[in-house]
Structure 1
Amino acid sequence: MSFGFMGIQFGWGLQLANMSGIYTYLGASPDDVPLLWLAGPMTGLLVQPVVGSMSDRTWNRLGRRRPYFLVGAILASTALFFMPDSSALWMAAGLLWILDASINVSMEPFRAFVADKLNVDQRTAGFVMQSFFIGVGASLANALPYIFRQYGVTGSTPSGIPHTVQYSFKIGAVVFLLAVLWTVFTTKEFPPENMAEFERTRRKTYGSATGLAKVFKVIGELVREISNAFTNMPKTMKQLAPVQIFTWLGLFCMWMFFGLTTSYHIFDAFGSDDPRFALGQEWGGNAFAVYSIVTFAIAFLLPKLAAATSRKTVHMIALVFGGLGLLSVYFIHDQWVLLLTMVGVGIAWASILSMPYAILSGALPAARMGVYMGIFNFFIVIPEIIASLFFGRIIRGIFGENNPTAPLYVVMAGGAFMMIA
């Protein structure tokens, strides 16, 4: 049931560890990076609630959620395959928009899929299982460029992107598609409990209109449904909102700038033309692999800890570990010691991927699970959009243009945000 998430995270892992480097190879400066990362949060904001609402109203031969897994996987795999062949900054940015939109189409229904198939008592274990597969997929994806380097792969594309990254993305595209196909064709979904009511709701959405009128009717109904769900947000979701906002603001700071921090702060690279820059990017991927390994190593401890204390307590402690890990980067100049910072991040990531969803799912009506999971994503993407739009200006204002010390301090800011959460 969760195996497809390994493929999805393979795609995410490659993106998170390598996109800032790819942008830099194609001519972007550090203060350009936040805006170039806008694709992820914007597509999440637009796609996830719409797909969630649509999947709540879908039932066909493949079921309710699985049609979206399949379509998203095909499109995302295509974008992953061609991403490292980009010859210009605009091309990489455009492919990232396609990639992130497609990943969101696949990923959003997976959260609702677990809640659909498991009862309330099983959901903590179900979301933890997703954390396990996310950790496995991300650790393999993050380490791939370094592994290729160790096997003697050298050289780069005409635009300067190393072959180690190029080959990793192409393998990632295949893994993404095959893993999601496994879930699509080996799992079954339960039909709606009240099929008559389900059909009535679906007719209300799609109606008897045809052509362009039908398109506008569907859009209007989806907007109404999302607005209604947002207005009547459960209390539990409101309580989790500020936690999610600060948590994901911290994560976004790390994802945007940890690889650049490794190149500039740990490997002392002067720019993207310096050979140490590529080595730093690959080692940054190794660091991300460490936090992913920690994630799947401790994932199955979380339900036991939550049962002994509470989900809230486990999540709070995990976030403190993550914040301390990112803040400690300032004091580290050795590449091997740097890996230890990711132990704290891995503990936090395992909890971030499971505890908030386990807490939330018990407070949501089953018939609206998809739309509410999509709306919950607002509290992830809105802080990321803020970071994308304004962090570049803040970096230029404080550090000046193209300052190689800026990434370190943004990563530390990420640690502070996680502590606040």
Structure 2
Amino acid sequence: MNKKPPLAFWQLWNMSFGYVGIQFGFALQNANVSRIFETLGAKVENIPILWIAAPISGLLIQPIIGHLSDKTWNRLGRRKPYFLLGAILSSLALLFMPNSPALWVAAGMLWIMDASINVTMQPFRAFIGDMLPEGQRTSGFAMQTFFIGISSVVASICPWLFANWLHLANTAPAGEIPPSVKWSFYVGGVAFLATVLWTVFKVREYTPEELESFGSKNDESSGETSLNTRQCMVEGIVLVLLGLAFSWVVGAQEWYQGLYILSFGLAFYGALQIIAALRAYAGKTTGMVEIVADLKTMPATMKQLALVTILTWFALFAMFIYSTPAVTSFHFHSSDPTSALYNDGANWVGVLMAVYNGVAALVAFLLPPLTRKIGRVTTHVVCLLIGGAGLLSMYLFTDPTYLLISMTAIGIAWASLLTIPYAILSSAVSHKKMGVYMGMFNLFLVIPQILAAAILGLLVQKFFHGAAIYAIALGGIAMVLAGILMAFVKDGEAA
């Protein structure tokens, strides 16, 4: 059995350079979409529902793209065809998003944009597992984290730069997006396609035969998975009935409509299991059947990481959704999107996003030597605890300048969660299933985002009296708990 050769620094650089564009798109989305929604007339308590497009698109697309890319090989390669397709669609969406004429159009464009970004992003995660030996994977994911941090700094600060350096207008009439935001999205569209093309043309993927010759200790159990059709059918029926019953209760009791996201989600997953069971019983064992079977037989390490990841991303999604309304209202004391004070606060959110991503870019280089010294699990525990403290401090600091301290702490956690869980997981799965399991791991990022979108709006509206800052504080508590639970995860490989 051959071993994969370690790659040089510039080879790692070329492999991950496309992430500059991917994260440019995500950073623009995270820092500005709530602002766009509010500008087009959205109320703060309804913002989570409008954001639901992002996690749902990832939930559906990433496992499918992972499964397809595992089985793809053509003139472009295995993962690169998906890099290119997603980049073209994402760039077009970025160009159109800030020109949305109405709130419903912007919500639809968020769906299209996030789905397209996911088509590109998911194969980039599997790419590291394909190309690098196990001992180099922490470094490979750290390189991606570095590019995520650097590009996010530039993307997040773009509206501020356009407003203060190029003197583009930072305000606009009611219902219109300021030019500083529009031009930021235009730059993002160009950057996305250009950087992904760099990786497509600079990197040669290993052929299926080469990957087979490298092998791994996980390949022995990586054959075609079988589905227990009886169990799958029973579970599916139960989930459908629970989902429908929960939906009825929500409607009958006139509860918060965001809870329909949970009830429909249960019913939808149950329906998928029923369909997969019927197809497997009919002898059709590809596509959906394989994906459902793989989900039910995921590696033990992946299961251990699941709860940690769910809590972590619940915290982050609370920050992504509520940073703009929290900072503008709690720290800048304005909730009027047409006011200068609100837009100054919104621009400061962009600066804060740049800071935590900049910190992550620097910390990324410290993670490989640190994990070699104290282990991947311990490193991640420490980083998550620091990040949770950073989120909680956003409530304690009333001076917006001190939020730079909060973002530094969050940046440390951000670097770790973009690197270490993927390095641990890539060492636990076979190259034959690398794409589908990396895509499925996204479920544990998406489920908490759906939970956040379903319940945070209710909490802010009914219990927090419209004060978005409490949603961020709740996220801090969730991240601290994630850090505690991470201590119990078993990592079978050296960093």
Distance in 2 between residues matched to 1:41 and 1:220, nearest whole Å? 28
Q: Could you tell me which of 162, 169, 193 is aligned with 2:185?
A: 169
Which residue of 2 is the match for residue 3 of structure 1?
A: 17
Which residue of 1 is the match for residue 476 of structure 2?
A: 415
Question: How do 1:266-281 residues align onto structure 2 when only pairs under 5 Å count?
Answer: 266-281=331-346
In structure 2, give the amino acid aligned to 1:410.
Answer: A
Q: Can you give the 5+ residue segments of structure 2 that lack an aligned partner in the other structure?
A: 1-14, 214-222, 225-278, 483-495
Which residue of 2 is the match for residue 179 of structure 1?
A: 195
Q: Could you tell me which of 129, 133, 155 is aligned with 1:119?
A: 133
Distance in 1 between residues matched to 2:289 and 2:34, nearest whole Å? 37
The verdict on how the C-alpha distance between 1:92 and 1:295 changes in structure 2, with shifts beyond 3 A counting, is same
Distance apart, 1:160 and its partner CA: 2.6
Q: Could you tell me which of 42, 52, 58 is aligned with 1:44?
A: 58
Judge conservation of contact 2:41–2:175 (CA < 8 Å) in 1: no
Which residue of 1 is the match for residue 485 of structure 2?
A: none
Q: Could you tell me which of 149, 156, 168 is aligned with 1:153?
A: 168
In structure 1, give the amino acid aligned to 2:474.
Answer: A
Q: Could you tell me which of 7, 13, 37 is aligned with 1:23?
A: 37
In structure 2, give the amino acid aligned to 1:256.
Answer: I
The TM-score, its normalising length taken from structure 2, stands at 0.78
- Confirm or deny that 1:234 pairs with 2:299: yes
Distance in 2 between residues matched to 1:391 and 1:335, nearest whole Å? 23
Question: How do 1:248-287 residues align onto structure 2 when only pairs under 5 Å count?
Answer: 248-287=313-352
Question: How do 1:186-197 residues align onto structure 2 when only pairs under 5 Å count?
Answer: 186-193=202-209
Specify the SS of the correspondent of 2:413. Answer: helix
Q: Can you give the 5+ residue segments of structure 1 that lack an aligned partner in the other structure?
A: 203-215
Which residue of 1 is the match for residue 146 of structure 2?
A: 132
- Tell me the alpha carbon deviations over residues 159-194 of structure 1, each in whole angstroms, 9 at most, x when there is no partner: 331111111011111001101111111111001127
In structure 2, give the amino acid aligned to 1:411.
Answer: I
Distance in 2 between residues matched to 1:13 and 1:339, nearest whole Å? 17
Judge conservation of contact 1:6–1:176 (CA < 8 Å) in 2: yes
Distance apart, 1:271 and its partner CA: 1.9
Distance in 1 between residues matched to 2:337 and 2:324, nearest whole Å? 12
In structure 2, give the amino acid aligned to 1:17.
Answer: A
Number of residue pairs the alignment of both structures matches: 400
Distance in 1 between residues matched to 2:307 and 2:108, nearest whole Å? 31
- Confirm or deny that 1:386 pairs with 2:451: yes
Question: How do 1:23-102 residues align onto structure 2 when only pairs under 5 Å count?
Answer: 23-102=37-116
Judge conservation of contact 1:258–1:284 (CA < 8 Å) in 2: yes
Distance in 2 between residues matched to 1:361 and 1:194, nearest whole Å? 18
Distance apart, 1:30 and its partner CA: 1.1
Q: For CA contacts below 8 A with separation 6 or more, give which structure has more relative contact order.
A: 1
In structure 2, give the amino acid aligned to 1:146.
Answer: W
- Tell me the alpha carbon deviations over residues 189-233 of structure 1, each in whole angstroms, 9 at most, x when there is no partner: 001127999xxx99xxxxxxxxxxxxx99x972211111111111
Distance in 2 between residues matched to 1:86 and 1:189, nearest whole Å? 38
Distance apart, 1:130 and its partner CA: 0.4
Judge conservation of contact 1:157–1:163 (CA < 8 Å) in 2: no
Moved more, 185-194 or 75-84: 185-194
Judge conservation of contact 2:325–2:335 (CA < 8 Å) in 1: no
Q: Could you tell me which of 357, 368, 372 is aligned with 2:433?
A: 368
Question: What is the Cα-based RMSD across aligned positions, in Å?
Answer: 1.9
Q: Could you tell me which of 356, 366, 369 is aligned with 1:304?
A: 369
Judge conservation of contact 1:86–1:92 (CA < 8 Å) in 2: yes
Judge conservation of contact 2:130–2:211 (CA < 8 Å) in 1: no
Structure index of larger Rg: 2
In structure 1, give the amino acid aligned to 2:181.
Answer: V
Which residue of 1 is the match for residue 235 of structure 2?
A: none
In structure 1, give the amino acid aligned to 2:157.
Answer: A
Distance apart, 1:388 and its partner CA: 1.4
Distance apart, 1:76 and its partner CA: 0.7
